[in-house]
């Protein structure tokens, strides 16, 4: 009888994940390789070795920056929301993710161009809040000097952008537009834009799903869960991260989250956007 190495393999794979989370790609790879040596037929070990080698090569070629060493990327989302409150420009641009995330991003990722400011300066002046300076990443737009019409116009544009991008198979901007629209709806001052955004949930879900890709692929943590706040992510994201074991597929993760499917898909898309997770190809 060969000795039972399954526990040892599981521990090695696990330790590899921890290295990977902390951007110690070579240590992770070496643990996974050891695991594969113990059992050459272990599909999980094989997949991880392939993933680790590819990642190491990317780093070598300067095509991948480990997330923890990357300069802190300003999430496009607070920027967008803050820009909504800027009076002078009549166009705001959601930052191009390609610029933020380095050359690896798909060239088809266009920046979203959004008109967000009002062309009714008289009314704007009447708003008392507009006299004060506004923090860059506010929790709510309620206190911000934005006009309901501006918000509505932005929401409409985001919806349009989401639909167009999805139609052109540009999943990343589609998902970003969906996220922005949802955040807008959550933070918009009364009367809000729920009437616009709610009916578009099916569209948004499609956008998020397209952005996540193959539902059988298995996500793993790419950053320590502790650091999620730096990416503007909340404990729901942390919860989903805690369920990732490299074996559970996106689809199973969504089903076993206990969240509403829409919420689970949305949070996973946010994790992916923040590069807080990596996605392994499906198990055979």
Partner 1 sequence: MAERAIGIDLGTTNSCVAVLEGATPTVIANRGGYKTTPSVVAMSESGKRLVGHIAKRQAVTNAENTAWAVKRLIGRPWTSPAVQAVKAAVPYGLIEGPHGDVRIRLRDQLFSVPELSAYVLQEMRAIAEEYLGQTVSKAVVTVPAYFNDGQRQATKDAGRIAGLDVIRIINEPTAAALAYGFGKKIDGKIAVFDLGGGTFDVSILDITNGVFEVVATAGDTFLGGEDYDKRLVDWLAQGFAKEHKVDLRADTMALQRLKDAAEKAKCDLSSVRETEINLPFVISTGRNQAFHLHRVITRSKLEELTLDLTERTIQICRLTMEDAGIQPEDLSEVVLVGGMTRMTKVQELVGEFFAREPCKSVHPDEVVAMGASIQGAALVDAAAAPDMLLLDVTPHSLGIMVAGGHFHRLIDRNTTVPTAKSHIFTTVRDDQTSVKIVVFQGESDRAEENELLGEFVLSGLRRAMKGEVEIEVTFEISADGIVSVSAQDMETGAEQSITVTASSGLTESEIARMAAESQEEMVASRAEEEVEKERQRIEKLVNEAEGLLPKVEEILAGTPFGEDSLDNVRLILDDARMAVERRDAGGLEQVAEPLMRTLNMFRGVVDSGRLRSG
| Positions 123 through 162 that interact with partner 1 (CB under 8 A) | 139
Judge whether 74 and 58 are in contact, CB under 8 Å. Answer: no
If one asks whether residue 74 binds partner 1 (CB under 8 A), the answer comes out as no
Stretch near partner 1 under the rule CB under 8 A, chosen from 60-68, 83-91, 92-100, 205-213: 205-213
If one asks whether residue 36 binds partner 1 (CB under 8 A), the answer comes out as no
Say how far apart CA 238 and CA 116 lie, in whole Å. 32
List the alpha helices (DSSP H) in 115-260.
121-126, 148-167, 171-187, 194-197, 201-212, 235-242, 250-255
Say how far apart CA 37 and CA 181 lie, in whole Å. 49
Stretch near partner 1 under the rule CB under 8 A, chosen from 24-32, 104-112, 180-188, 236-244: 236-244
If one asks whether residue 236 binds partner 1 (CB under 8 A), the answer comes out as yes
Question: Considering the complex, what minimum distance in angstroms separates the CB of residue 146 from partner 1?
Answer: 19
Q: Which of 93, 164, 215, 217 binds partner 1 (CB under 8 A)?
A: 215
Say how far apart CA 8 and CA 77 lie, in whole Å. 43
Say how far apart CA 51 and CA 45 lie, in whole Å. 10
If one asks whether residue 11 binds partner 1 (CB under 8 A), the answer comes out as no
Query: How far is CA 116 from each of CA 14, 34, 113, 282, rounded to the nearest angstrom?
Result: 47, 54, 9, 41
Question: Considering the complex, what minimum distance in angstroms separates the CB of residue 125 from partner 1?
Answer: 30
If one asks whether residue 270 binds partner 1 (CB under 8 A), the answer comes out as no
What's the alpha-carbon Rg for the chain, to the nearest Å?
21
CB nearer partner 1, residue 111 or residue 238: 238
Q: Which of 175, 203, 244, 277 binds partner 1 (CB under 8 A)?
A: 203
Say how far apart CA 228 and CA 71 lie, in whole Å. 15
Stretch near partner 1 under the rule CB under 8 A, chosen from 64-72, 86-94, 95-103, 208-216: 208-216
> 198: alpha, beta or left, given left = phi > 0 and alpha = psi -120 to 50?
alpha
CB nearer partner 1, residue 170 or residue 206: 206
CB nearer partner 1, residue 102 or residue 224: 224
| Positions 244 through 263 that interact with partner 1 (CB under 8 A) | 247, 251-252, 255-261
If one asks whether residue 163 binds partner 1 (CB under 8 A), the answer comes out as yes
Report the 10 Å Cβ neighbour count for 102. Answer: 15
Nearest to 223 by CA among 57, 18, 1, 26: 18
If one asks whether residue 216 binds partner 1 (CB under 8 A), the answer comes out as yes
Q: Which of 19, 209, 273, 275 binds partner 1 (CB under 8 A)?
A: 209
Write out the residues near partner 1 by the rule CB under 8 A: 6, 139, 163, 199-200, 202-203, 205-206, 209, 215-216, 224-226, 228-229, 234-236, 238-239, 241-243, 247, 251-252, 255-261
């Amino acid at each position: 009888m060969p000795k039972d190495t399954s526990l040892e393999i599981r521990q090695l794979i696990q330790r590899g994940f921890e290295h990977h989370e902390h951007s110690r790609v070579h240590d992770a790879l070496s643990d996974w390789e050891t695991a594969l040596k113990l059992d050459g037929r272990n599909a999980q070990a094989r997949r991880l070795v392939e993933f680790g080698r590819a990642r190491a090569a990317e780093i070598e070629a300067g095509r991948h920056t480990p997330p923890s060493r990357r300069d802190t990327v300003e999430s496009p989302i607070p920027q967008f929301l803050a820009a909504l409150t800027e009076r002078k420009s009549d166009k705001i641009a959601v930052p191009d993710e390609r610029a933020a995330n380095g050359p690896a991003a798909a060239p088809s990722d266009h920046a979203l161009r959004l008109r967000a400011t009002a062309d009714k300066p008289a009314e704007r002046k009447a708003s008392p809040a507009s006299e004060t300076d506004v923090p860059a990443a506010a929790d709510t737009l309620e206190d911000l000097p934005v006009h309901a019409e501006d918000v509505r116009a932005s929401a409409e544009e985001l919806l349009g952008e989401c639909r167009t991008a999805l139609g052109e198979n540009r999943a990343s901007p589609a998902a970003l537009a969906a996220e922005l629209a949802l955040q807008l709806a959550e933070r918009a001052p009364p009367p809000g834009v729920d009437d616009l955004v709610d009916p578009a949930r099916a569209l948004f879900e499609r956008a998020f799903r397209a952005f996540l890709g193959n539902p059988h692929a298995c996500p793993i943590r790419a950053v320590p869960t502790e650091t999620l706040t730096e990416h503007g992510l909340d404990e729901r994201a942390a919860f989903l991260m805690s369920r990732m074991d490299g074996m559970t597929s996106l689809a199973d993760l969504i089903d076993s989250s206990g969240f509403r499917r829409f919420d689970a898909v949305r949070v996973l898309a946010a994790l992916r956007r923040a590069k807080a997770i990596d996605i392994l190809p499906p198990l055979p």
